[in-house]
Amino acid sequence: MEADYVVIGGGSGGSALAYRLCEAGRKVIIVEFGGTDVGPFIQMPGALSYPMNMPRYDWGLMSEPEPGLGGRRLVTPRGKVIGGSSSINGMVYVRGHACDFDHWAEQGATGWGYADVLPYYQRMETWHGGADGGDPAWRGTSGPMHITRGPRSNPLFRAFVEAGHQAGYPLTADYNGRQQEGFGAMEATIWKGRRWSAANAYLRPALKGGNLSIVRGLARRVVIENGRATGVEIERGGQTEVIRARHEVVVSASSLNTPKILMLSGIGPAAELRAHGIEVIADRPGVGANLQDHLEIYFQFAARHKNTLYKYWNLFGKAMVGAQWLFTKTGIGASNQFESCGFIRSAAGVKYPDIQYHFLPIAVRYDGQAVAEGHGFQVHVGPMRSKSRGTVTLRSADPRESPVIRFNYMSHPDDWEEFRRCIRLTREIFAQPAMAEHVKREIQPGADVQTDAQIDAFIREHAESAFHPCGTARMGRADDPTAVVDPEGRVIGVDALRVADSSIFPRVTNGNLNGPSLMTGEKIADHILGRRLPSSNAEPWINPDWQSSQR
């Protein structure tokens, strides 16, 4: 078993990278532990709450008890299936704000500013959102990833956007284009009524081309000989074997499993590796550090009218939706139901949006459990740039054991102030005429939750992960002791080894992370191939009054 490149993980970063390497004529083997993504639970967008709660498709990782959240342990789904987390996620597509990537560059990720990454977003997209605004010059027209907008036929979607406008916020025709800030239509990785995962977009075409092979097995460690990565040790069928890489090994196993694999391979904080009896090959204290995520709450309202999705929330309704999707790929099942959104700034002096809204025309938990009382709707809201940082560490030297995940949510005092602002600003939006006519009452947090102490108690008990972990193998300058990879994605201190997934993000981006993870795979592939797309000179929109006004 040998190839030019061996990639650990068939998720978003690994799939995009493998596709580009294969397109350039290189032979690639992807090591993927998970199985097939065939079946309605994954392919039907409306069924999104199922795969992330199915042990067949999810690694089943959990955080340690979180002190800032009253000792709760939070689930952190990661895809254990072809396509990785793009096969079990909510399919929301957000590139991130231009300033996010400029911040990366300032932190030492030279060549990852917005001008550098925009051409990669354009290369990877086929954008179908132009019918209702947005400038096509900012978007891609011929990439593997189809990006679409839902029909927004339910009046609640437009009411939410209008309420944001009535509250004094801008509208945006395309938050993935020139102007992120504002309220508008949400975009999704859905095409022709199906989940357009990394498996559908990248892996299947690459497999057809003949240069890609996928080997099912558990990646135990990267084999490193004389300071150079030469292959990957895997376990399958009870046997251990090594897949050899003629050129390089690339780790794309997620921000939770990538640091685990690096540490099992002898790359990480020396003291921790020695404590587990692992030989230290490269002492990199940044491996497993800098863990970040987005935390959110579900702001829920009981509806005055019966125009929510609750009418389908019964056996007969679900059967009808499923049958329509199965035979025609249309209807409620063809959408993830996140069709409207908003990006706003929490205060004057905040340069670009730091609060995101996902609107949903039903009141339900993300895991599909416990519909609140009958007809209702909700918005997911949370701060985008928490200052809290966590860690991923080894539980033992056994590759089959899950890593120890500590997010340290809400451990920075600013997080509390930012979250309180989220709740108060959201209430103001739902009090606008466009939404007020639909609101019967606030289910949660509840109208009686008003003081800082009451709001804090609600957050402690109810905040959930938005499932956007990143940052655990941070990209930075080669002489930065806390960086794990250099701006080419190369692991510092080991030859022929790179990382291409969300673990290399210096800081979490605005919004959902699947888009930036795909872009990372696309861009690292070009670094491997020794080529680069020309930088863009497009000028993103920053609110001209950001220093003096919140909206």
Residue range 475-484, pLDDT digits in tens: 999 999 999 9
> For 132-153, what is each residue's pLDDT tens digit?
889 999 999 999 999 999 999 9
pLDDT of residue 126: 98
| Confidence grade of residue 197 (pLDDT, cut at 50, 70, 90) | very high
Contact 218, 33 (CB under 8 A): yes
For the record, the structure tokens of 118 come out as 């925009």
Nearest to 18 by CA among 252, 305, 364: 252
Asked whether the predicted pLDDT for residue 486 surpasses 90, the reply is: yes
261: nearest Cα among 15, 8, 525, 506: 8
Q: Give the closest residue to 194 by CA, choosing from 7, 50, 384, 45.
A: 45
Beta carbons within 10 angstroms of residue 361's beta carbon = 25
Is 90 annotated to bind a ligand? Reply is yes
Q: In 196-327, at which residue ranges do the beta strands (DSSP E only) sit?
A: 212-216, 218-225, 228-236, 239-251, 267-268, 282-283, 295-303
Is residue 365 predicted with pLDDT exceeding 90?
no
Look-up: residue for tokens 């499932």?
A: 467
Radius of gyration for the alpha carbons in the chain, expressed in angstroms and rounded: 22
Largest pairwise CA distance in the chain? 69
Q: Pull the structure tokens for residue 375.
A: 């007809």
Name the strand (E) or helix (H) holding 6. Answer: strand 2-8
pLDDT the model gives residue 459: 98
Does the annotation list 81 as a binding residue?
yes
Give one DSSP letter per residue of 370-399, joined into a string. Answer: ---SSSEEEEEEEES-----BEEE-S-S-T
pLDDT computed for residue 390 by the predictor: 98
Answer yes or no: are the C-beta atoms of 340 and 286 closer than 8 Å: no
Among residues 161, 202, 201, the alpha carbon closest in space to that of 182 is found at 161
Angle at 63 between CA 44 and CA 356, to 5 degrees: 55
Dump strand ranges (E) for 390-450: 391-393, 404-406, 439-444
Q: What share of the chain is helix, strand, coil (3-state, %, to 5)?
A: 30, 25, 45
Long-range pairs of 416-419 with CB within 8 A, sequence gap ≥ 24: 416/452, 416/456, 416/459, 418/346, 418/354, 418/383, 418/386, 419/295, 419/297, 419/382, 419/383, 419/455, 419/459, 419/463
Residue 371 CA to its chain's centroid (Å): 25
Q: Indicate the average pLDDT of the chain.
A: 97
- Would you state the CATH architecture of domain 151-185+295-383+411-462? 2-Layer Sandwich (3.30)
Q: Are 521 and 502 in contact (CB under 8 A)?
A: no
The reply to whether 44 sits in an annotated binding site is no
pLDDT digits (tens, 9 = 90+) for 150-193: 999 999 999 999 999 999 999 999 999 999 999 999 999 999 99
Interatomic CA distance for residues 359 and 169, integer angstroms: 16
What pLDDT is recorded for position 373? 74
Rounded CA-CA distance 500/517 in Å is 8
Point out which residues pair with 224 in neighbouring strands: 229
- 468 an active-site residue? yes
Annotate 374-400 with b (16+ C-beta within 10 A) or e (fewer).
ebbbbbbbbbbbbebebbbbbeeeebe
Q: How confident is the model at residue 531 (pLDDT cuts 50, 70, 90)?
A: very high
Reported as a single tens digit per residue, the pLDDT across 50-80 is: 999 999 999 999 999 999 999 999 999 999 9
Is it the case that residue 119 has pLDDT exceeding 80?
yes
In CATH, the number for domain 1-59+78-133+193-290+388-398+475-533 is: 3.50.50.60
Tokens of 83: 């396509």
The answer to whether 545 and 352 have CB atoms below 8 angstroms apart is: no
Residue 489 has pLDDT above 70, yes or no: yes
* Residues β-bridged to residue 302: 376, 441
* Catalytic-labelled residue, pool 103, 358, 468, 527: 468
Angle, vertex CA 513, rays to CA 325 and CA 388, nearest 5? 135
User: Nearest CA to 346 among 119, 136, 549?
Assistant: 549
Peptide bond into 445 cis (omega under 30): yes
CA distance readout (Å), 385 to 288, 340, 379, 501: 19, 21, 19, 19
- pLDDT greater than 80 at residue 354: yes
Check whether 93 has a pLDDT greater than 90: yes
| Length in residues, the chain | 551
Domain assignments of the chain as residue spans, ordered by start: 1-59+78-133+193-290+388-398+475-533, 151-185+295-383+411-462
**What is the rounded average pLDDT of the residues 385-410?**
98
DSSP code at position 22: H
